[in-house]
A and B are shown apart, each in its own frame.
Chain A
Amino acid sequence: MEHRDLIIIGAGPAGLGTGIYAGYYGLKALIFEENIPGGLAAEIPLLENYPGFTEGISGRSLIDRMVEQCKKSEIEIHQFEKVAKLNLEGREKMVETDKSRYTANAVIIASGRRPKVLGVPGENKLRGKGVSYCAVCDRAFFKNKKVTVIGEGSPAAEVALYLAESVSSVVLICLRPRIEAEKILVERLTGKRIEVLTNMEIREIKGDIKVKSVVLSDKKTGDTKEIETDGVFFQLEEIPNSQLAEKAEIKVDEKGYIIVDGRGRTNINNVYAVGDVTNHSVKQVITAVAQAEAAVNDIFEKRGV
């Protein structure tokens, strides 16, 4: 069985940040990513406030640089390798994937969050035919067309603003009573004349060979209406990917976020969690990276003793 100093689960900013610091401290580390590196951060059109990038940087470019940085310090990234089981009881931690089994002195969980799936009628059938989950990938196909964004919070507002730059009109549909995005983004939405509908329930996405309309109803009044649209972009509320951790008896809070201290320590010795999957109150790329450094530093200091 292959052994590493450190195994990292997830290759979003938290996992890649962990890799970069592990490389810096000379730890042999391996990152597992069940998909491709990036996670939710890769879909952010533009990070405007990440220190060091005066013009801003797209989530994907930042991820690409982080992957490069990991490779430079010889941190291995196994993409499309899914962790199936964790055995964290003993001194040696066991990680079983869909391809092989590994052991490590320490494990860092950086599995992030995933968007909820709404699963409304028509959503799956029209995927790739106007239904999109990646505004950065697919915006170009909707130039001068009408689009709808279905989602919550700042990410949905960001996507609506990003689309508004090239499409003819944007309707942002929120399922909650309020948009719940950062104030500055809400102000910008008004400036761009993006129509915002709140407290809505999505009934159906209609269309045959491509999306034609969205049927929705007002949760309060029950009024139903149909909005003509060429594209539907989903940006829904995110939920933590903590099921594996929970099975391995790592403690989570009532919403499923892994409970950590300031150094990313969980209730199990030498098992850490960083980034969006934790109960840290702020969920940003920069806080994920900061959590990564705190955790790796803790591992390094312990090893030094």
Chain B
Amino acid sequence: MSKIVKVTDQNFEEEVLNSDLPTEVDFWAPWCGPCRMVIPIYEKLSEEYEGRFKFCMVNVDENQQTAAKYQIMSIPMQKYFTNGESVDEILGAVPEHTIRTMVEDILKKFPTDEKGRLKVLLTSWAEHNKKHREKFNKWVEKVNNLSGNPSYESVLSATQEMEKANERLSQVLIELQRGE
């Protein structure tokens, strides 16, 4: 039994944007031959990924608002959503393995379990800090007599502490990964 959810202009927000699971939305129309040919692939995947990944269909003829909002100009078009945001897309009729790869990639990037989400959050946190540290270092290079300026002392010590904290964060991440 197919688990594909038929989504309309009215329930798009509820079914897709507020979905707890990563969600695929297939924009299609009855007159579009290639669209109809790939539907069986989605039916199959919707059963296989039940509870982990959600598959939806939007008939662009009947739901023009949603189609216009996402600027659909060519179908079949499959958009992928996580946490209410469009994160990727596939244009045209493609073989099963292409869709499967996309679904697996998104599951990896946007895990739905507690531990997985924590890992993604910590990774991006550590990367974010690292980027700012690099920017700060560049700034220090330009303003070469920084250490002589007493008003910057506290900034320097704060950034050093921040770097230590970041190293600890990276360490925790490694431990978390080892623990699996």
**In the complex, chain A residues whose CB is within 8 Å of the CB of B76:** 137
Does chain B have a CB within 8 A of A238? no
Stretch at the interface among B9-17, B27-35, B124-132, B161-169: B27-35
Given A80-B96, A209-B71, A128:B91 Cβ within 8 A = yes
Q: Is the interface of A mostly helix, strand, loop or mixed?
A: mixed
**In the complex, chain B residues whose CB is within 8 Å of the CB of A137:** 29, 31-35, 74-76
- Whether A36 lies near B73 (C-beta < 8 A) is no
User: A250 vs B21: C-alpha distance in the bound complex, in angstroms?
Assistant: 52
A210 contacts which of B38, B67, B73, B91 (Cβ < 8 Å)? Answer: B73
| Chain B residue with the shortest CB-CB distance to A43 | B33
Interface 1/0 per residue, A111-151 and B, CB below 8 Å: 00000000000000001111110101110111000000000
Does chain B have a CB within 8 A of A206? no
Count of chain B residues near A, Cβ 8 A: 23
**In the complex, chain A residues whose CB is within 8 Å of the CB of B75:** 137-138
Does chain A have a CB within 8 A of B148? no
- Whether A140 lies near B33 (C-beta < 8 A) is no
Q: How far is the CB of A124 from chain B (nearest CB, A)?
A: 11
User: A79 vs B41: C-alpha distance in the bound complex, in angstroms?
Assistant: 11
Does chain A have a CB within 8 A of B106? no
User: A35 vs B67: C-alpha distance in the bound complex, in angstroms?
Assistant: 26
Does chain B have a CB within 8 A of A60? yes
**In the complex, chain A residues whose CB is within 8 Å of the CB of B33:** 36, 38, 42, 60, 63-64, 136-137
**In the complex, chain B residues whose CB is within 8 Å of the CB of A79:** 37
- Whether B29 lies near A36 (C-beta < 8 A) is no
- Whether B38 lies near A36 (C-beta < 8 A) is yes
User: A36 vs B76: C-alpha distance in the bound complex, in angstroms?
Assistant: 13
- Whether B38 lies near A132 (C-beta < 8 A) is no
**In the complex, chain B residues whose CB is within 8 Å of the CB of A134:** 32, 34, 74
Interface 1/0 per residue, B75-107 and A, CB below 8 Å: 111000000000000011101100000000000
**In the complex, chain A residues whose CB is within 8 Å of the CB of B35:** 137
Q: How far is the CB of B57 from chain A (nearest CB, A)?
A: 15
Count of chain A residues near B, Cβ 8 A: 26
Q: How far is the CB of A227 from chain B (nearest CB, A)?
A: 18
Does chain A have a CB within 8 A of B4? no
- Whether A136 lies near B91 (C-beta < 8 A) is no
- Whether B73 lies near A130 (C-beta < 8 A) is yes
- Whether A210 lies near B74 (C-beta < 8 A) is no
Does chain B have a CB within 8 A of A13? no
Given A36-B93, A80-B96, A128-B91, A141:B73 Cβ within 8 A = yes
**In the complex, chain A residues whose CB is within 8 Å of the CB of B37:** 36-38, 79
User: A130 vs B73: C-alpha distance in the bound complex, in angstroms?
Assistant: 6
B60 contacts which of A128, A140, A210 (Cβ < 8 Å)? Answer: A140
Q: How far is the CB of A243 from chain B (nearest CB, A)?
A: 20
Does chain B have a CB within 8 A of A231? yes
Interface 1/0 per residue, A26-39 and B, CB below 8 Å: 00000000011110
User: A282 vs B3: C-alpha distance in the bound complex, in angstroms?
Assistant: 46
User: A140 vs B67: C-alpha distance in the bound complex, in angstroms?
Assistant: 11
- Whether A127 lies near B34 (C-beta < 8 A) is no
**In the complex, chain A residues whose CB is within 8 Å of the CB of B72:** 141
- Whether A127 lies near B32 (C-beta < 8 A) is no
Does chain A have a CB within 8 A of B50? no
User: A138 vs B67: C-alpha distance in the bound complex, in angstroms?
Assistant: 12
- Whether A231 lies near B73 (C-beta < 8 A) is yes
B73 contacts which of A35, A60, A64, A138 (Cβ < 8 Å)? Answer: A138
- Whether A128 lies near B38 (C-beta < 8 A) is no
Shortest 5 CB-CB contacts between residues of A and residues of B: A60-B33, A80-B95, A36-B37, A128-B74, A137-B32
Chain B: residues with CB nearer than 8 A to chain A? 29, 31-35, 37-38, 60-61, 67, 71-77, 91-93, 95-96
Besides A79-B37, A141-B67, 14 more A-B contacts (Cβ < 8 Å) are A36-B93, A80-B95, A80-B96, A127-B91, A134-B32, A134-B34, A137-B35, A138-B74, A138-B75, A140-B31, A141-B74, A142-B73, A210-B73, A231-B73
A selection of 25 A-B contacts at a CB cut-off of 8 Å is A35-B93, A36-B33, A37-B37, A38-B33, A42-B34, A60-B31, A60-B33, A79-B37, A127-B91, A128-B92, A129-B73, A134-B32, A134-B34, A134-B74, A136-B31, A136-B32, A137-B32, A138-B73, A138-B74, A138-B75, A140-B60, A141-B67, A141-B73, A210-B71, A231-B73
